[in-house]
Every structure is written in structure tokens, then in C-alpha cells.
Amino acid sequence: MKTLVCAQPRKFEYRYQPTPELIKDHSIIKIKRVGVCGTDLHAFEGTQPFLSYPRILGHELSGELIAGINAPGFELNEVVSFMPYFNCGECIACRSGRSNCCVRLQVCGVHIDGGMAEYVLVPSKSLLHAQGLSLDEMALVEPLAIGAHGVRRAAVEPGEFVLVVGTGPIGMGAIEFARIAGGKVIALDLNERRLQFCKNKLGVSHTVNALEPDVDGRLREITNGDMPTVVIDATGSLKAINNAFKFMAHGGRFVLIGLQRGDISFSHPEFHKREGTLMSSRNATREDFEHVISSLKNGAIRPSTYITHRASFNNVITEFEGWLNPGSGVIKAMIDFD
């Protein structure tokens, strides 16, 4: 089968390797769509902290089930996706129902080879039914689940202000699910085009450009002087994360969905006097995936507008580097295998 390998930072190569063979308790998916996410872009840049090279990227996937063992309820040739976080089932995190942060977690496309290939072998227990959703929609389930999990970690309550820092696809997912939870969402970003997208397409009432001279003042104005009780970082930018501590209300929660290599730095007295809560949000659980699929089915979210760029699998090398350019206007790039 044909694969696309990130051989080293900023170098893709098409390679041929054996098509996966079916093994116990696993299934084979013929890939039809791969969504490109920040993890893939950071891997290409060489800034993804958990990835080694060479690596086949891609974990936002959908396709057709062509073979399976111990996959009850699934039929051959049906549209599927899967949870791309393969856990051990035995460690303290797994035993407590938090398989998303398994001690020995292997994320497809990061720790192990992913879906930029014609076929992929996955544990049958990770499969997800499309339930009538399209290939595009199923390839968007995983990034939406990341945002849904972050919002669930934050325990967003109706009526509270939620500041989402970073309006890429992960941030947009956090915006959508914070809204569904009843939060009053504020979007913060440097990219005015994305802020306008959030306002026009996602119905965000309050947007703030991080380049404004008085971001603190704008947030105080929006929140009637209180500041947001939930701050969610979806940038993975060290500067943005460190800056956002000061945006949190007294008694607030700060959730880190974004990931970067460096050390976080903040004023202990400022954080202490707020009695702030700081937490990370890693991957997602089946509960989050099911919440996303249900929200797609009932029309609570309509993420097809996220897809701004497309490329065929055979042309990814030509197109990919351009997606790193903020001026390209890319929100979500989708790779087609049809």
C-alpha cells in the first residue's frame, strides 16, 4: 500500500509498504478521509514533543471497514471512524476509567504510525459507527472530541463566561461544546479572519483580538468586571498560555488543551490569591466521542464549514507546507482518498 511518511521535520516521502494483515481483536479500515490538525502541522515543523521520526501522521480519520475480528455490531463496508488512542487497559489511569491518559498510551499518528496510508489496522474495540454521518463528518469527530473533553474537564456551568484562547479547529470545538453546555463564550485570537468566522459561523457574541492594546480591559468590560471563570487554551503557544493566567477570574479554572515543549511560568501570588484551578486535558474518552456524534446527528453543531482546504492523497506533499501559513486562511484541511 502507498503511505505518506514524515521522514524528518519538513520532509515528506511517499513510500510503499505491506498492507496490514488482520490479527486477533483488530480490524482493517480502508481510509477515505484524513483531517489535518495542529499535531500534524507541529510534527511537520519538528515541534511535537511526543513524536519521533520517521512517522506516518494522521489520526482524524474515516473510511470503510473491510475486515474485522471481534467487532460485534459492525458490518463490512460500513463507514466508520475510530478512537486513535490505544491504551493498555491495566495502568492506574485505565483502571479509573481515564484511558485517554494511559501510562503507556500510544496515539495513532504520534507514538505509532497513523492514517496517511491506504489502509490502517486498529483495535476493534476502538471502532465508531457513523450512524448516518458522512465521511467528512466522521473525520471531524476526533478533533471535536478533544474540545468536548476540555469543556467537560472545565465543568462549564450555564451562564458563566468561558474564554477560549485560540480559534483553530480544536478551539472551535471547545467553543461549540462550551456553548452547548450553556457557557457565554469569548473567543481570543491574533487572527481576525478566524475571529470573524467564529462570530459569523459559530454565533460567538464576544471576540477579542489579542493584538488589541487593552485585552484585560475588554475582558473586564464583557464580563462586567468579573473576568472569565473558565479559561481554555487551545493554542499550544507558550506566550499565550503564560499570558492567559491573568485573564482568569478569582475562583476560576484554567484548562490546557494545547500542548507545547517549554515550561509554564506564572506568578504564584496572583494564581494563589485567585485560588485558581489548573488542569490539563489530554485526548478524549468514548463518552466524549459519543457526545460529539450525538451533537452532529441532532444538528447542535455543523462543522462542515470548518473545511476550507482539500487535497488528494497523491498531492499532499505539494499542498501541506502552505497550510502552515496563517495567510492561507486554512481552518481545516481535509485529505481525500477517493
Confidence of residue 329 (pLDDT cuts 50, 70, 90): confident
Count CB neighbours of 78 within 10 A. 12
Task: Inform me whether the pLDDT recorded for 326 exceeds 80.
Answer: no
Task: Say what the pLDDT of residue 98 is.
Answer: 95
Grid coordinates in use for 224? Answer: 462586567
Residue 266 predicted with pLDDT over 80: yes
Per-residue pLDDT band for 49 (boundaries 50, 70, 90) equals confident
User: E strand or H helix at 108, and its extent?
Assistant: none
Cβ 84 vs Cβ 57: under 8 Å:
no
Maximum distance among all Cα pairs of the chain, rounded to whole angstroms: 61
**For residue 295, what pLDDT is reported?**
97
The pLDDT-based confidence of 262 (bands split at 50, 70, 90) is: confident
In whole angstroms, give the CA distance from residue 280 to residue 150.
8
pTM higher than the cut 0.85: yes
* The pLDDT of residue 247 is above 90: yes
Compute the mean pLDDT over every residue in the chain, rounded to the nearest whole number: 95
- H or E element that contains 152: helix 135-154
Tell me, what's the pLDDT at 265? 93
Q: Residue 230 pLDDT > 80, yes or no? A: yes
Residue 203 CB-density burial (10 A; 0-12 exposed, 13-18 middle, 19+ buried): exposed
**Residues near 278 by beta carbon (within 8 Å), at least 6 away in sequence:** 253, 254, 256, 271
**pLDDT (average), residues 58-64:** 97
Q: pLDDT tens digit string along 98-140?
A: 999 999 999 999 999 999 999 999 999 999 999 999 999 999 9
Per-residue pLDDT, 311: 96
Instruction: Give 328's pLDDT tier (boundaries 50, 70, 90).
Output: confident
**pLDDT value at 84 more than 90:** yes
- Where b means 16+ CB within 10 Å and e means fewer, 304-327 reads eebbebebebeebeebbeebeeee
